[in-house]
Amino acid sequence: MEYRVKWEIDIEADSQEEAVKEALKIQRDTNSIATVFEVTSINNDRKVIDLTYNVEYCVICERNEVDENSPILKGIGKVCHDCCNRWVKDNYEENL
């Protein structure tokens, strides 16, 4: 299966090239804690994974941890219960 993997970081630098060089340096550092990635499958299922702590995060808020009991929103991915409740309220309760 094919996946799109994203890694983002905010960097202050004097130029775009310097920012890229600094990001690459951080990414290649074996002691770096910049290990959070967003992964999307061809089915558009998203996950936010922190390899340092082997933790998966909610794809909406990217703060709350999720596990095998967390809800999965089709086309969005695994979400925390707080975001799921907000999503249901925003997308369904207004139509009741």
Residue-range definition of the domain harbouring residue 14: 3-95
Work out how many domains the chain is built from and give that number. Answer: 1
Question: DSSP secondary structure string, 40-52?
Answer: EETT--EEEEETT
Mean pLDDT by runs of 10 across the 96 residues of the chain is 92 96 90 86 87 80 81 80 85 63
pTM (two decimals): 0.54
Give 59: exposed, middle or buried? Use CB within 10 Å, 0-12, 13-18, 19+.
buried
Look at residue 43 in the predicted model and tell me its pLDDT.
86
Backbone angles phi, psi at 21, to 5 degrees: -60, -40
Look at residue 93 in the predicted model and tell me its pLDDT.
62
